Structure 1
């Protein structure tokens, strides 16, 4: 009987000591001051400062604007926690990060829940039922600011691309207007084969030595188009011209 109790007591003692050490170590880690996940909340501080002013008191419109900006900051933090929590939990399970970061995230999540409830209560003090829609309004304003930022960024990128590609298009148009070496050589060859622009006036004489009335001097264009094999046929003199010649004899 004693041989059985000794191993049992040994196992209980080992596992009990391990359990006590793990609980003590966790309490020590929890009591250690961890770095906050979000270092500060400037929008909340601005709203609290404006709300505490009494001489002169802050206008309600300014307080509402500051409260909406505070709600917008809370919405951004909620979205960031939703994105970071699954990834951080996965890294914690793999042992890539320590528990202090995970505890900081959990503390920021609890603080953010209390912050949301406080913003809802403050919104209901300005108008009844505004607390239920203030975060929806803040979300829409965030989406509007994001779209405006993307539009402004797109406009700047578009101006840069226009300056870049318009310059290249102008250079390409100038290069396209420049004649190519083949075109220059073909133009020179065409100029070399052209005839001299001399006026070749051919006078057609009649048998009696008089020039007919329909004899026209050849122009340079006519000289260029006329072929050497084409004979020039003089016009026959009229009967009256022949009679005048016989009378003169």
Structure 2
């Protein structure tokens, strides 16, 4: 017996693989856009660790003021105040960095708080880089002396706050001594 073998041929259009790849790429692009939007919304909704940076806002307002031309000395002083605030914030972040890591490893704080802390650290580093560029724009090589000056201003402000916090204690001790 002889069997006849019939071959079945199917005609597949060239457009079907192209259509498949197009649908696949479109799906991946849409997923990527949705994922980025979700990630951006999450970053925007995070509560910042620090309050608003008024020194930065003041410096930017002075720098962008056009009607009464602001003196360069005033701009430099505002930049130093902005730098002092940035250094104060960086010091605070460095102080609590170890505690945040330990609390995160133990599970005492969530991913959102840990990510917020890391984001704030990155933002402060960018702020310091921006400050160095601003200092260099005023005078070449000023960034090397700019940060020590800002650090000194930060230390002086901290000492002033501590001394001012002692005044109420001093007054209560005076009243206690007078009453006895």
Q: Which has the larger radius of gyration?
A: 1
Higher RCO by CA contacts (8 Å cutoff, separation 6 or greater): 2
Report if the CA contact (8 A) 2:55-2:81 is conserved.
yes
Gap regions ≥5 residues in structure 1: 1-26, 169-249
Larger helix proportion of the pair? 2
Alignment partner for residue 100 of structure 1, among 104, 108, 112? 112
Count of residue correspondences = 142
TM-score (norm. length: structure 1): 0.51
Alignment partner for residue 146 of structure 1, among 152, 158, 165? 158
Matched position secondary structure for 1:57: coil
Gap regions ≥5 residues in structure 2: 1-34
Report if the CA contact (8 A) 2:81-2:150 is conserved.
yes
Deviation at 1:39, TM superposition (A): 4.7
Deviation at 1:37, TM superposition (A): 3.2
Q: Which residue of structure 2 aligns with residue 33 of structure 1?
A: 42
Q: Which residue of structure 1 aligns with residue 5 of structure 2?
A: none
Q: Which residue of structure 2 aligns with residue 6 of structure 1?
A: none
Q: Which residue of structure 2 aligns with residue 86 of structure 1?
A: 98
Taking the TM superposition and a 5 Å limit, the aligned residue runs for 1:1-249 are: 30=39, 32-34=41-43, 35=46, 36-168=48-180
1:59-112 deviation per Cα after TM superposition (whole angstroms, max 9, x unaligned): 112111110110011111111111222111111111111111111111111111
1:201-240 deviation per Cα after TM superposition (whole angstroms, max 9, x unaligned): xxxxxxxxxxxxxxxxxxxxxxxxxxxxxxxxxxxxxxxx
Provide closer, same or farther for how the CA distance between residues 71 and 103 of structure 1 changes in structure 2, counting only shifts above 3 A: same
Report if the CA contact (8 A) 2:104-2:114 is conserved.
yes
1:158-191 deviation per Cα after TM superposition (whole angstroms, max 9, x unaligned): 34322321331xxxxxxxxxxxxxxxxxxxxxxx
Deviation at 1:31, TM superposition (A): 5.2
Q: What value does the CA root-mean-square deviation take over the aligned residues?
A: 2.2
